[in-house]
Every structure is written in C-alpha cells, then in structure tokens.
Chain A
Amino acid sequence: MEIVTQKDTNISAAPPKKSSSQWAIARKKFLKNKLALTSLIFLLFVAIISFLAPYITTADITRINIGEMSLEPSSKHWLGTDKAGRDVFTRLLYGGRISLLIGMSCTLFVIFLGTLIGSVAGYFGGTVDSLLMRFTDFILNFPFLVFVIVLNAILFGKVNGLWVLIGVISLLSWGGIARIVRSKILAEKENEYIIAAISIGCSPAKIIVKHLLPNVLSTIIVQATITFASMIVIESALSFLGFGVPQEIPSWGNMLDSAIEPDVLQFKLWIWMPPAILITITILSINFIGEGLKDAFNPKSRR
C-alpha cells in the first residue's frame, strides 16, 4: 500500500554537470533520509547483537530453572525470567537470531523464486507466460495462513523444523513478486537494447540476467524489504499460534505465546512486553527502510 505522501513531481534542481549513476543518486538520497538511516542503523544493531548472542550473554537458554521462575527484572536478569526460569534478555537475543534468520532466508527464497518465474514468464511470453501465470494465480488464490498451518502440521517432526517452516512459507508466498517482476520485464523487454542483444545472438538466460534484471533490480530490492518485514510477521504469528518454530527453540513469536495466559498478560509484563515491542520496532524500521529505498530509487522524488 502506498503511504508515501505525494510530493510535487517537478524537478527543481538544475541538471548536474557530470551525471552520477542511478546507484550513486539513490545512495545519496538514501543517506539524506534521516528516518531511513536511523532505521537501518537500528536494524543492523539488532541483527549484530542477536548474531553475537553467544558471546554477549552466558546464560543457558535451554535449561529449565525451577528456582528462578517468573522473576522480575533485576541486575542479574536484566529483563527478568520467564515461566520456566529462563532469562528473558538472553532469549530475546537468541530469538532475534532465529526470527531474523527465518525472515532473511524466506525473503531470499521468495525473491529468487518470484524473480525466476516472473522474468521467465515476462521474457518468453506466449504459452510459457500464460502457463506460469495461471500457476501463480493458483498459488495466490490459496488462503496463505490456512495452508501454511496445514502443511506445517503434516511435515512437522518429519524433517528439521526450521527448514520446513522456511520452505513452506517461501513456496506459498512468491506469487506477488512474480507478478511484479513479470510486469516490469514486459515493459523493459520492448527497449531497443534488448532487440540489439537478441540480434547479436545473446542467449535468453544471458539477456535476462545481464540486461533485464539489472534494470528491474531497484523494484526487486524495494519488494525484498517489504517481504522481509512480512516474513518476520508471518514467522512470529505462526510461532505464536504454535505452528511455527518448535517450542524448544526461542523465537520472538515463541516468546510471546505465554501472553495468551491472562496471568502473564496482566501481571508479568517483562515476559511478553520485550519481544512484542522489539518485533514492532523492527517491522517499523524495516518499513521505513523500504520507504526510504523506494524514495531513493524514484527519479521523480526530490529530496
């Protein structure tokens, strides 16, 4: 959904003497966008401390500690302990590792599948296009959450849990990207340079990878940011419902599922508040980065 306010589209600045590349312009615009830059720094910070979790905290995340159940935040446990006596801060870091890892892997797979199918359909057109697009429609017409839950219930326990989750989510969510990439490729392939590339005998694979994709890359990058945010939401929602990451592995969604108990929700804020706030801020900052990138790549926006 478009939430950027419509800015005036007239370009007021005088044309630069030596024109910079599209990427240099975008980078300059992005670095000037304070909100996006702050978000990026925040996201990197969360990612780094999550991935360095084993070096930052020494508390054991798996051991259930009956002596230290539901302790309030103190100097020993910065954010208190949960109902099984595990340190919330430590779990938050390890949970971030899992949540961000799943978010990133899903995004990679979704972008890969969507770009592959979208570009092949868009470039070849005709029967290939209509077959692939009917298939995309088919995938898009599935109620996503319903099928993810059913598929997880089937595959659960048979294969390593995390990869099942990543696979199932990715396989069901590439449809939107494929449509967008296809429409971009359709417009792009009408240009003369593509006809020239065909006439000198470039192979279709080479044309797609070397000539077409670089020109739709900015769209793909923006889509990837949005996908990353929604993948984190999906992972945490599924884990919250009990159909995502296996219980014994901490993830932000898993940490929240005790909030369904009224006692925890009402009186033990330190158990559910930290992951809830962290997920929200992370999603917000990813969205801000996405808006910033969209703005940076948009030649009409002046900033």
Chain B
Amino acid sequence: MLKYAFRRILGMIPMLFLISIVVFTLAKLMPGDSFSGEIDPTKTNPQYIAEMREKLGYNDPLPQQYFRWIGNFVEGDFGKSARYKIKVSDVISEKLPNTLLLGFSSLLITYILAFFMGLYSGRKPYTVADNLIGGLNYLGLSIPSFIAGVFAIFLFSFTLGWFPSNGSIDIGMTEGTLEYWLSRLHHVFLPAVVLGLLSTASYTQFLRNDIIENSRKDFVRTARAKGTAEKKIYNVHILRNSIIPLITFLGFDLVAIISGAIITETIFTYPGLGQLFLQSVGTRDYPVLMTLTMLFSFLTLIGNLVADILYGVVDPRIRLD
C-alpha cells in the first residue's frame, strides 16, 4: 500500500513536468506578454520597451526561458503580477483563504445533507419522502451549477433576502470578532451549497442504494433474528458498512471543487482563486495565470491520486500495482 502510494507520488513528477511544459507553451502562445500588460505602449518610448524586453529575457531562446521560469517556480518564486504589481504569491495567498473556506464549507454541507437524506431514503425506500429526495437529487445532477447559482441568488438573496448575493464579507467588519466570522459564514453559505450540489446528489444516491443493498444481506438478517432493535441495525450495523465507500469520492470532490470554484465564484462575485483566474485570463496577467494553472493542475493530480489510493484502502480486493 505504502509502496504503491510512494510510486504514484513519484509518478506525479514527470506528469507535473509535462504539464509545466504545456502551461509554458500556452502562455507563450497567448497574444502579448506580461510586459505589454504592464506598460502603456502609447506613452512609452519604443526603444525603452525593446531594452526592457531584452533585459527581462523575453528575447532569449524558449528553452532557456522555460528553464528559468521552472527553476524559479520550484524555488517558490512565481514572479510579479502584472496587474497588481506585487508578488504572485502575495496575490494568491490573499485570495486563497476565501477559496479554502468555500471548499471546506461546501464539503461539510455536502456531507451533512447527503448523510441525513441518504440515511432516510435508504431506510424508507420507495416512500413519498424517498421519491421526493430522489427527484431533488435528479434535479441536482441535471441542473448546471451556474444556473443553480443564478436561481439561488434570485430566490434566496433577492426575493427572500436571506443571504447576501455577492462578496465574502460585509463592509466595516473588524477582523477577529465573532461578527466578522459570522458575516463570512453568512456570505459563504449560498455559494458553498451551489458548489456542493452535484456531489450532494451523488453522495445521497450512493448512500441510499448502498443501504438498501446492505439491508438485504445475511448479517442484517442475523441481527434481526437475534432481536436487535431496528434502529440499531440501521444506525450501527448497516451504516458502518455503507459509509466507508463514500470516502473514495473525496478525491473527485477535490477535482470538482477546483472547476466548480471558477464558475461559482464568478456568479457570486466571491473573491477567491477562481475569480482571480478568470481575471488573469482577461487582463493577460501571465505570471498569475501560469501559477494558478500549475496550482490547479497539481491539485487535480493530488485529487486523482487520493481517489485511486482510497479505492485500495476501502476495497482490499483491488490490487494496487
């Protein structure tokens, strides 16, 4: 197991290397470079631009530029943002907590909702409530997240006025107070639910089907024959067996959150990494764009790795080699 995990982690290195080449090539193919985003060509002396280009190394051969970039990257120097004029790492670390909060609350809400809905549906299958939950899940799986977001803002922010429709914090809050955190949670709730919609639906459905399947197994019949209370059979005997496979979804959730964050943060104008990414594409802020793309790719790799390893942990019959 450990050996497998170790080998997979080693296998990530060439993958990351390949991805970095792709990212670099793409950034070079994009029109303009980060320097042209930084200056106003109409007001600057063309000779100065040419000199600066030479000085910044934009005229060097591409492989040389690539190795300089990747070398700095590995050392943690991601360059300077063309738009914000500060270090890329500072720009990212400013937005990162927001996205982390969004991701974690989304996972938490997903788990809580799916746990109770799945448990109920699994215990009382083919009832009205189960069909209702099933219908909701079907809608959750089918409705694209940006449409869900638009509807959520319309309904809960504008019509009912329960949640704010944008931003991550109310204006004029002092950091560290209870109110500050409550305001942040208040802002993150709606985007987190929308972000977790798809996973909530699939978790619920998985848990339901697994509970139904398990409830027909011999160990449940034995427990019933011994006179174990029905409540205990479901909450202890079956639940233990049904909850474990769910952890294999964790890796995929990580991947889903990355792409979900781009869409959700844009709809809710929530200042996180996803929004930063779209802005950096729009403003041709290459250092930020390249760093974020590498970061997202890295997280996707980690997510897929976690999923594969957890499969082996949960089901020892899957041979990992």
Give the contacts of B237-283 with A (CB-CB under 8 A).
Answer: 255, 258-259, 262-263, 266-267, 277-278, 281
User: Does B205 sit within 8 A of A, measured CB to CB?
Assistant: yes
Residue in B138, B267, B277 whose beta carbon sits within 8 Å of that of A287 in the complex: B138
Interface bracket on B: 35 or more
**Complex-state Cα separation, A273 to B19, whole angstroms:** 40
Residues of B within 8 A of A137 (CB): 15
User: Does B171 sit within 8 A of A, measured CB to CB?
Assistant: no
A145 engages B262 (CB within 8 Å)? yes
- Distance (whole angstroms) from the CB of A252 to the closest CB of chain B: 10
User: Does A190 sit within 8 A of B, measured CB to CB?
Assistant: no
Q: Which of A74-82, A87-95, A111-119, A275-283 lies at the binding interface?
A: A275-283
Are A283 and B142 CB-contacts (below 8 A) given A141-B297, A241-B262?
yes
Residues of A within 8 A of B158 (CB): 262, 265-266
User: Does A197 sit within 8 A of B, measured CB to CB?
Assistant: no
A265 engages B144 (CB within 8 Å)? no
Q: Which of A26-34, A102-110, A212-220, A232-240 lies at the binding interface?
A: A232-240
Name the CB-closest residue of B to A151.
B26
Residues of B within 8 A of A5 (CB): 125, 134, 209, 212
Please provide the 8 A-B residue pairs with the shortest distance between their CB atoms, ordered closest to farther: A145-B259, A1-B202, A143-B296, A284-B142, A233-B144, A266-B158, A283-B142, A143-B300
Residues of B within 8 A of A143 (CB): 255, 258-259, 293, 296-297, 299-300
Are A272 and B297 CB-contacts (below 8 A) given A6-B213, A266-B158, A283-B143?
no
Residues of B within 8 A of A150 (CB): 26, 30, 281, 289, 293
Are A259 and B19 CB-contacts (below 8 A) given A3-B138, A237-B144?
no
Residues of A within 8 A of B156 (CB): none
User: Does A260 sit within 8 A of B, measured CB to CB?
Assistant: yes
Residues of A within 8 A of B296 (CB): 143, 146
**Complex-state Cα separation, A50 to B158, whole angstroms:** 32
Are A280 and B147 CB-contacts (below 8 A) given A143-B258, A265-B158, A287-B141?
yes
**Complex-state Cα separation, A154 to B142, whole angstroms:** 31
- Distance (whole angstroms) from the CB of A116 to the closest CB of chain B: 22
B138 engages A6 (CB within 8 Å)? no
A141 engages B300 (CB within 8 Å)? yes
User: Does A45 sit within 8 A of B, measured CB to CB?
Assistant: no
**Complex-state Cα separation, A243 to B142, whole angstroms:** 22
**Complex-state Cα separation, A203 to B153, whole angstroms:** 59
Give the contacts of B89-141 with A (CB-CB under 8 A).
Answer: 125, 134, 137-139, 141
Give the contacts of A201-259 with B (CB-CB under 8 A).
Answer: 229, 233, 236-237, 240-241, 243, 256, 259
B147 engages A149 (CB within 8 Å)? no
Are A146 and B205 CB-contacts (below 8 A) given A256-B147, A280-B147?
no
User: Does B4 sit within 8 A of A, measured CB to CB?
Assistant: no
B147 engages A142 (CB within 8 Å)? no
**Complex-state Cα separation, A147 to B292, whole angstroms:** 11
- Distance (whole angstroms) from the CB of B254 to the closest CB of chain A: 11
**Complex-state Cα separation, A265 to B145, whole angstroms:** 16
Residues of A within 8 A of B206 (CB): 1-2
Known: A144-B259, A243-B281, A265-B153. 4 other contacts (CB 8 A): A147-B26, A147-B293, A149-B278, A236-B144
